[in-house]
Amino acid sequence: MLSSHSLRCTGCGLRIAQNEARSNFRCATCGDLFEIEYPWSATRDKATDAGAAANQPNPNALRYLWQERRTSTLAADQSGVWRFRDLLPIVPVDKIVTLYEGNTPLYEMPRCAALLGMNWLLAKHQGMNPTGSFKDTGMTAALSVAVANGFEWVACASTGNTSAAMAAYAARAGLRSLVLIPEGKIAWGKLSQAMDYGSTTVQLRTDFDGCVRVLAEIVQRAPVYLLNSVNPYRLEGQKTPAFEILEQMDWQVPHHLIVPGGNLANCSALGKGFAELQHLGFIKRVPKISVIQAAGANPLYRWMQAGGVGPFEPVEAHTRATAIRIGNPASWKKAVKVLATTGGWVEEVSEQEIALAKAEIGAEGIGCEPASAVTLAGLKKLVADGRVGKEETAVLLLTGHTLKDPEYTIQYHRGALLSDKEAAAETVAQRAANAKLRREPVVLDAKVDDVLKVLDAMQAQPA
């Protein structure tokens, strides 16, 4: 099973065996990132790969098997990542560390669709994973590899969600974990999770990009296994929502998938998932994958605006969507390939746009964290520009649960989120929409009549 995959450099094409990967997961020749390759991958040459053609996975058999596994009581079958293990054979089944991640809902979003004038809008809610974010799907994969390789320590730099996921899965496996997070720049819910799951949590006086730099040195000097998304095994787990979306849509391919962009690994993982299914003949085409960045953390958007050529300039990142407060994304080249091969776009959205979109998603009874709401805000722009047709089907990838960052939500509803300058920049329509959505808590004496008055006042307003 372990010899059934290798690591291929996405820069120079160099292939290495699993045990040849360096601790920082960068290519020794060109410094680029690796991806996991299988005998049946599109990048393999069937003619020279003995057995590859004969062992080509069969789409019909796998579709059936994946559904069947949902009724099994085996832990690996109940996981929404490992029930697809035929397309991610990276560890023996007895090494799998699972919290029954995946199998997340694909929700219809009728009110958001109506706002956009679209017929059909869906949201794949990866915030419904065990630790409340999409990171669990990647963490179960890479942490299982850490276990299989006999590591005692795992580590990550994080804007919060990776650390929460890593801490939980490490605790499950009985491994020790080191978290590096930027001091004061992550949401409390996430910090509390790392502590709850027993991680050694270090808050560095720097930003996320500074944490990444420090960790890159640490993994070279201490025997710790790096679990940031430069670790290509993370992406093997994170590609599985692509499989689930298709299952949930009865194998009808949506036209568009809209993904938030931070370190730019997730869009790459999903792109890999769809590409593999297309290559194997499960589907004939793939969705256009578009990436949305916060305007204050938009290095990919800037690079694409400048024509997609020349040096990639990191930015100093600022956004209240702390999960994607990243100025120097490690996986930008992988993301660019996914944009190019699927035909998607990059958009940027302002703090005002993120806040309103988050409230609109919340008002559907769905809810998400700020970084996830960039998807709806970005889709508004893509529809307005005609890049997404109103009759087309789009899926928003919601990456984190609303309870990850309750402080943001409370500030929004109290009207205390935006600075005066940002609030002044709101359009009339945005202001009206916010006024309708805001639900500031009312404090009253414990008198029935007073509460009934509130009810009457609300009744007088349109729902």
In 3D space, the residue among 184, 187, 182, 234 whose CA is nearest the CA of residue 213 turns out to be: 182
Question: 70: how many CB neighbours lie within 10 A of its CB?
Answer: 12
Is 254 or 400 the residue whose CB approaches ligand F0G more closely? 400
Does 261 participate in binding ligand F0G (rule CB under 6 A)? yes
Return d(Cα 140, Cα 144) in angstroms, integer. 6
Site for ligand F0G in 378-407 (CB under 6 A): 399-400
Does 131 participate in binding ligand F0G (rule CB under 6 A)? no
- Using CB atoms within 10 A of its CB, is residue 430 exposed (0-12), middle (13-18) or buried (19+)? middle
Return d(Cα 241, Cα 84) in angstroms, integer. 10
Minimum distance from residue 403 beta carbon to ligand F0G (Å):
12
C-alpha distances (whole Å) from 194 to each of 16, 142, 171, 276 are 33, 18, 10, 33
Sign, CA torsion 439/371/339/267: negative
Is 83 or 125 the residue whose CB approaches ligand F0G more closely? 125
Asked if 286 and 275 count as a contact pair (C-beta separation under 8 A), the reply is yes
Q: Which stretch binds ligand F0G (CB under 6 A): 112-120, 154-162, 348-356, 432-440?
A: 154-162
Of the residues 80, 241, 254, 260, which one makes contact with ligand F0G according to CB under 6 A: 260
Minimum distance from residue 92 beta carbon to ligand F0G (Å):
27
Does 346 participate in binding ligand F0G (rule CB under 6 A)? no
Contact pattern for ligand F0G over residues 222 through 241, marking x by CB under 6 A: -------x------------
Does 371 participate in binding ligand F0G (rule CB under 6 A)? yes
Does 39 participate in binding ligand F0G (rule CB under 6 A)? no
Minimum distance from residue 20 beta carbon to ligand F0G (Å):
25
Site for ligand F0G in 271-310 (CB under 6 A): none
Return d(Cα 63, Cα 54) in angstroms, integer. 19
Does 133 participate in binding ligand F0G (rule CB under 6 A)? yes
> Order of strands across the sheet with 346-349?
106-108, 120-125, 393-398, 256-260, 288-294, 346-349
Return d(Cα 14, Cα 27) in angstroms, integer. 8
Of the residues 98, 137, 290, 372, which one makes contact with ligand F0G according to CB under 6 A: 372
Does 88 participate in binding ligand F0G (rule CB under 6 A)? no
Binding site for ligand F0G (CB under 6 A): 133, 135, 158-162, 229, 260-266, 323-324, 369, 371-372, 399-400
